[in-house]
Amino acid sequence: MPLLELRGVTRRFGDFVAVDNVSLQIEQGEFFTLLGPSGCGKTTLLRMIAGFDAPDGGAILFDGHDLLGVPPEKRNLHTVFQSYALFPHMSVAQNIAFPLRMAGAAPEAIRQRTAAALEQVRLPGMGARFPAELSGGQRQRVAVARALINRPRLLLLDEPLAALDAKLRESMQAELIGLQREVGVTFVYVTHDQSEALALSHRIAVMNRGRVEQLGAPAAIYAFPRNRFVADFIGECNLLPAELRAMAAGDIRLEVRGVGEVHATHGEQLGAGARGVLALRPEQVQISSDRLPEDSRNAFGGIVEQLLYRGDVTVYTIALAGGARIQALLPNAGGARAAGFPVGASIQVGWRADAGHFLPD
């Protein structure tokens, strides 16, 4: 039985549908992420799970029990708020001990478990400090420790790393993964940062406008986006308007505007003439000055229009002979002046048949 189940959950605010008939099953011990742009309904969903809001339709079941009418304080799940919501008038130790005090635990047990919690989030001896004296990363850890101290079955995290700068965010991500594996608590994580979602999660639910667009493991979602929104939102993607010419076992022929005839291997069963887009990840596109590797089923000529040097990779914008523009991502491996292609260079562009997907409109 899944730990948390959402069945047809809907939430409306007047005419605006924030959450539209969402059904999900979250298993015990997994790191599950709700990913989407702002306004997609992920935070609303999280608040309903926490108990601060009630669905207009559908049900939320925790361990098989319907949570309808159960106030937040009675749900055995806790939230790490985006602003951390540390009580400013209490010390770090008092903050962390708060759930235990509310539950009426004995003072000695409180003391021990608080110390253990501080150790676990690597803040030993900071118990007497106050939130105002801590850095952003330290406050975040206190918030996590506080939410985990009475061992809830489920932890909800509402964009907890959003307020931290890039470097800190990366190290906190690693810590969160480690913590989750160590403690074994089920995490439901909300973020709009797709690279964060890909790094942290066992499974991701990509949301848009109140609906779940795609649900799956990070690699599956990245490699096989199901529709245009997911392809565009996760990572970078070339999206080229295309029309289906023919479909046979293992081989799809597309007429891609501005490119020419393209072979792809994935796509849904459709009839000829169907319109859609060819989704092609930039890192799948190969560039060479004369000849391309054997398995480049698709090959076209083009000119380098622009390049963006990013240190570890370079992103090329290429104008193809047919008129379309595509982006290719190449690692800057090899020597200092490794094969780069200057602006204006004439080059060959190619990719494997299974690199591109056809996503119908």
- Distance (Å, whole) CA 24 – CA 16: 22
- Distance (Å, whole) CA 356 – CA 285: 10
Which H or E element spans position 102?
Answer: helix 92-102
Is 98 or 229 the residue whose CB approaches other proteins more closely? 98
* Nearest-approach distance from CB 89 to other proteins, in angstroms: 5
* Nearest-approach distance from CB 206 to other proteins, in angstroms: 26
Is 79 or 298 the residue whose CB approaches other proteins more closely? 79
- Residue type at position 68: L
- Distance (Å, whole) CA 329 – CA 345: 16
Residue entry with tokens 């985990």: 148
Q: What is the DSSP letter of 132?
A: G
Is 118 or 256 the residue whose CB approaches other proteins more closely? 118
Is 68 or 343 the residue whose CB approaches other proteins more closely? 68
Q: What is the DSSP letter of 191?
A: E
Residues 143/81, Cβ–Cβ less than 8 Å = yes
* Nearest-approach distance from CB 270 to other proteins, in angstroms: 47
- Distance (Å, whole) CA 230 – CA 235: 9
Q: Which residues of 35-70 are buried (b: 16+ CB within 10 A; e: fewer)?
A: bbeeebbbbbbbbbbbbebebeebebbbeeeebeee
* Nearest-approach distance from CB 160 to other proteins, in angstroms: 13
Is 131 or 218 the residue whose CB approaches other proteins more closely? 131
Largest CA distance in the chain: 76
Is 80 or 320 the residue whose CB approaches other proteins more closely? 80
Is 97 or 240 the residue whose CB approaches other proteins more closely? 97
For 29-73, the DSSP string reads T-EEEEE--TTSSHHHHHHHHHTSS--SEEEEEETTEE-TT--GG
- Site for other proteins, rule CB under 8 A: 50-52, 69, 71-73, 78-79, 81, 83, 85, 87-89, 98-99, 101-103, 146-147, 150
SS3 label, residue 119: helix
* Nearest-approach distance from CB 77 to other proteins, in angstroms: 8
Is 131 or 282 the residue whose CB approaches other proteins more closely? 131
Structure tokens at 38: 């702002």
* Nearest-approach distance from CB 168 to other proteins, in angstroms: 21
CA 318 to chain centre: 29
* Nearest-approach distance from CB 98 to other proteins, in angstroms: 5
* Nearest-approach distance from CB 28 to other proteins, in angstroms: 21
SS3 label, residue 127: coil
